[in-house]
Structure 1
Amino acid sequence: TLFIIDIWLWAALITGVWVSRRRERTGKAHWRTPALISFAAICAYILANGLITGRAEQLTAEAVQKKFNVAPTLVVANPIPLQFWKRETLWRDDSHYGQGSYTMFDDVRIDNSMRAHYMGVADKNAFEANVTRGSPLLFWSRMPVAQIVDAGIKRTLKISDQRFTDPLVGDRFSAYFPIGDESK
């Protein structure tokens, strides 16, 4: 619902405390009022963000159903830093995944590409039994994605989390496993 470090929450918190402390130092009556107003605004902001996220997830599921004729089993709407009214949307079913975007003012947009994640129930069980045993990645990953990285003769299985596919951070949230002859 909220970005990890939400600038708007921090601004409301700092402003409320700062104004209250100033009023207390000058001896004004009801010096706690700005802090209480700030607290109420923060609660309203958190509620509004929850509603935005819920709406983004609902509209994304409907748009994926309409566009690809697929009923997503999981939809996640991640907030965009500084832009609380926008969400990056991620969806998946048992065999495919995709993404899109949601803006409170422009509705939802689904990317045209739908990719196989190779992490359906049967695939995931095979990976856990044969390849990724002991890997903490599958333990904490909510949206695992597998792909074969081909570097000539050497083939590697890359498992990552769909939520962290941005090239700037993607490799930090990935695990690589040799496949083929070198995995024996």
Structure 2
Amino acid sequence: LALAYIGCLSHPLFDWFNSYGIRLLEPFSSQWFYGDTLFIIDIWLWAALIAGVWVSRRRERTGKAHWRTPALISFAAICAYILANGLITGRSEQLTAEAAQKKFNVAPTLVVANPVPVQFWKRETLWRDDSHYGQGSYTMFDDVRIDNSMRAHYMGVADKNAFEANVTRGSPLLFWSRMPVAQIVDAGNKRTLKISDQRFTDPLVGDRFSAYFPIGDESK
């Protein structure tokens, strides 16, 4: 029973560690919370968990003393790993905000350091203010690198409310999106509003985190 409770309570905790977000206060509040600490599938975390359990079970079966020790070491290593990743994220977000302000003379209202697969020492850094957004990268023990361009996201508070009321009409994507970006896509005589999330712009996954809304026919 204790293990069942640990499993149920640790699941949302580890969901909070990634950048997808979790609504911890449901059903009382739909507010999103983000840890931005671990990639959604962290192979190093899985490796430590598997190794700790496997070695401990093996020692137990052979009757060796202190067979729990490998599992306890694994647990301690995991805690240290999560703490270290949290510090990397905090540092990269701080440096990104400073770099964006220095390069573009803007004060970012939101900075996100996205963990990347396998390379836990790196972050994809994203920043935005009320009208524009940009990105960069960060490597531990190195300075942050900010891209030379910034673009308008057309998703200020007033724009987002207007889109939601007149075009997207309560889209689940807008409800979920942390860093929404609006873009007009022309296809022949038709114009389409594309809503995406700045965190997921990679061509390999971008379409899975985008929604399209027809907004007019220029031939009429």
TM-score > 0.5, shorter chain as reference: yes
Cα offset, 1:113, TM superposition: 0.9
Aligned to 2:217, what secondary structure does the other structure show?
helix
User: 34, 59, 80: which one pairs with 2:95?
Assistant: 59
Higher relative contact order (CA 8 A, sep 6+): 1
Aligned to 1:64, what secondary structure does the other structure show?
helix
What is the alpha-carbon distance in structure 1 between the residues aligned to residue 77 and residue 130 of structure 2? 40
- Return the TM-score normalized by structure 2: 0.81
- CA shift digits 1:71-119 (9 cap, x unpaired): 1111110111110000001111100001100000322000011000000
User: 23, 40, 48: which one pairs with 2:59?
Assistant: 23
**Is the 8 Å Cα contact of residues 121 and 140 (structure 2) preserved in structure 1?**
yes
Cα offset, 1:152, TM superposition: 2.9
Greater per-residue strand proportion: 1
Aligned to 2:218, what secondary structure does the other structure show?
helix
Pairwise CA RMSD of aligned residues?
A: 1.5
Change (3 A) 1:183 1:83: farther
What is the alpha-carbon distance in structure 1 between the residues aligned to residue 64 and residue 217 of structure 2? 77
- CA shift digits 1:31-55 (9 cap, x unpaired): 1011000000000000000000011
Change (3 A) 1:22 1:183: farther
**Is the 8 Å Cα contact of residues 189 and 219 (structure 2) preserved in structure 1?**
no
**Is the 8 Å Cα contact of residues 42 and 118 (structure 2) preserved in structure 1?**
yes
What is the alpha-carbon distance in structure 1 between the residues aligned to residue 38 and residue 136 of structure 2? 18
Structure 1 outlier segments of 4+, above 6 Å: none
Cα offset, 1:171, TM superposition: 1.1
What is the alpha-carbon distance in structure 2 between the residues aligned to residue 126 and residue 146 of structure 1? 12
Cα offset, 1:4, TM superposition: 1.0
Change (3 A) 1:167 1:183: farther
- CA shift digits 1:6-39 (9 cap, x unpaired): 1111111111111111111111111101100000
Change (3 A) 1:114 1:31: same
User: 134, 146, 162: which one pairs with 2:170?
Assistant: 134
State percent identity of aligned pairs: 97
Cα offset, 1:183, TM superposition: 12
- Return the TM-score normalized by structure 1: 0.96
- CA shift digits 1:45-69 (9 cap, x unpaired): 0000000001111110010010101
What is the alpha-carbon distance in structure 2 between the residues aligned to residue 141 and residue 101 of structure 1? 21
What is the alpha-carbon distance in structure 1 between the residues aligned to residue 161 and residue 217 of structure 2? 21
Change (3 A) 1:152 1:109: same
